[in-house]
């Protein structure tokens, strides 16, 4: 069983639907804590390998509350922002700076649907080569359709279709249950990954159209 498949299997065997919090022991006072800063001695945790969902007190799920995510981000930022650390010892400022970097990285992952899915299922793009003939055929057809989209209107229509496909697959993943095979999840992530690349290409093309229009207008 691959690492990704093992993680997918564990996702359905464990209690992934409940909100999680950090479960730590303060290195300074040895008290049990559930956040990055001890409420007893006010020291920061030295750990920087926290699970992103636990760090943000989110459910281990694709379907997370984005407003709650943002609110928690603001709280964590306030705790670790350099402006709040001037009166602390150097050792505490160093720990807080490391945690701040982790918080920013975790937030960027969790707020992005595809990156959240990759993190949840421990998906490593480099481990996967698309071999599904149906998916490969779709990829080739979509690539041809993109090449044939010359006007801004055609590109916007193409982008809308790809975004709709992305949303459909992502919603299917959110509703996945214990009978959803790990191979199907990996295939869905492969598909979402490709759709994201296509959307990037479309946005690049649209930006070129906009730049050409600006140049013509300026002249």
Report the CATH architecture of 3-120: Orthogonal Bundle (1.10)
Q: Which CATH superfamily is domain 128-218 in?
A: HscB, C-terminal domain (1.20.1280.20)
- Dump pLDDT digits (tens) for 111-123: 999 999 999 888 7
In whole angstroms, how far apart are CA 80 and each of 57, 88, 199?
A: 17, 11, 35
pLDDT value of position 167: 94
pLDDT value of position 68: 94
Query: Is residue 3 very low, low, confident or very high in pLDDT (cuts 50, 70, 90)?
Result: very low
Q: Are 25 and 31 in contact (CB under 8 A)?
A: yes
pLDDT value of position 18: 43
Beta bridge partners of 44: 37
Mean pLDDT, to the nearest integer, of 5-33? Answer: 57
- Dump pLDDT digits (tens) for 147-200: 998 888 999 999 999 999 999 999 888 776 444 557 778 888 888 999 999 999
Instruction: Mark 124-137 as b/e (b = at least 16 C-beta within 10 Å).
Output: eeeeeeeeeeeeee
Q: What residue segments make up the domains of the chain, in order of their start? A: 3-120, 128-218
Query: Is residue 44 very low, low, confident or very high in pLDDT (cuts 50, 70, 90)?
Result: confident
CA atoms within 13 A on the CB side of 73: 18
Extract the tokens encoding 196.
């994201």
Q: Are 121 and 7 in contact (CB under 8 A)?
A: yes
Query: Is residue 142 very low, low, confident or very high in pLDDT (cuts 50, 70, 90)?
Result: very high
Extract the tokens encoding 145.
């359709």
């Amino acid at each position: 069983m691959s690492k990704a498949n093992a993680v997918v299997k564990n996702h359905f065997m464990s209690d992934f639907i409940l909100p999680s919090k950090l479960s730590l022991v303060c290195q300074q006072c040895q008290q049990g804590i559930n956040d990055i800063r001890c409420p007893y001695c006010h020291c920061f945790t030295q750990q920087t390998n926290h699970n992103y969902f636990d760090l943000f007190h989110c459910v281990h799920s694709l379907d997370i509350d984005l407003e709650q995510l943002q609110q928690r981000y603001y709280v964590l930022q306030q705790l670790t922002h350099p402006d709040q650390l001037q009166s602390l010892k150097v050792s505490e400022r160093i720990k807080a700076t490391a945690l701040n970097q982790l918080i920013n990285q975790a937030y960027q992952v969790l707020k992005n649907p595809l990156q959240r899915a990759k993190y949840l299922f421990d998906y490593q793009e480099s481990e996967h080569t698309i071999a599904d003939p149906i998916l490969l055929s779709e990829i080739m057809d979509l690539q041809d359709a993109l090449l044939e989209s010359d006007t801004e209107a055609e590109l916007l229509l193409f982008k809308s279709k790809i975004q709709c496909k992305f949303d459909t697959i992502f919603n299917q993943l959110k509703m996945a249950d214990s009978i959803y095979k790990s191979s199907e999840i990996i295939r869905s992530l492969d598909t979402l990954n490709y759709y994201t690349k296509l959307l990037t290409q479309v946005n690049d093309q649209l930006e070129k159209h906009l730049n050409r229009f600006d140049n013509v207008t300026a002249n």
